[in-house]
Amino acid sequence: MITRILPPNEWTRLGGTLLEDAPTLLNPEIDIVLVVEKEGEIVGCTSFLPRWHLEGAWIAPHHQKKASVCRPLLRGIYQVTEALKAKELVMMTFDPKMASVCSRLGRSCVHLDGDHYSVGL
C-alpha cells in the first residue's frame, strides 16, 4: 500500500470514487487529493479543501420577512469575501429561512449532503 498526494494531472484516475468529479470541481492550485494505492489501483482517497466557512448566519425572527436586515447582511458578506479574495464559501445553517438565503448567494450554490464533523487535532 502506498499513500501519496495525487497530482492534479492524475485526478482523472479518481473515476468510480466519491472524488470522481475532482477534475472539474476542485481547484488544482489549492486543493489536495490524498490517495491510497494498492498495485496501482486507488483503493482509498480523500481531499483537503481550504475554504472560508460561514457559521451562525442568523436574522432575528421579527426581521426575517424584511429586506432591511437581509440586504445589509448580504452586502457585508460580499464585502468581507471580496476583501479576503475568497472564491468560495461553505455555509451551514439549521434555519430553513436562512437556507433559502444561502441558496441564492453567489454565482452558483450547491446543497451539500452528508454529515459534517468538527475534528480537533
Residues 20/14, Cβ–Cβ less than 8 Å: yes
62 and 34 both lie in a single domain: no
Domain span including residue 73: 52-102
The pLDDT value recorded for residue 73 is: 87
> Are 40 and 58 part of one and the same domain?
no
- For 85-101, the DSSP string reads T-S-EEE--S-HHHHHH
pLDDT tens, position by position, 22-56:
998 888 999 999 999 999 999 999 999 888 888 88
- pLDDT at site 112: 75
User: Into how many domains does the chain fold?
Assistant: 2
Mean pLDDT across the chain: 86
Q: Are residues 61 and 44 in the same domain?
A: no
Do 40 and 63 have their domain in common? no
pTM: 0.67
Tell me, what amino acid is at 102?
Answer: C
Query: Is 24 domain-assigned?
Result: yes
pLDDT band at 5 (very low <50, low <70, confident <90, very high): very high
The pLDDT tens digits of the residues spanning 49-89 come to 888 888 888 888 888 877 888 889 888 988 998 898 887 88
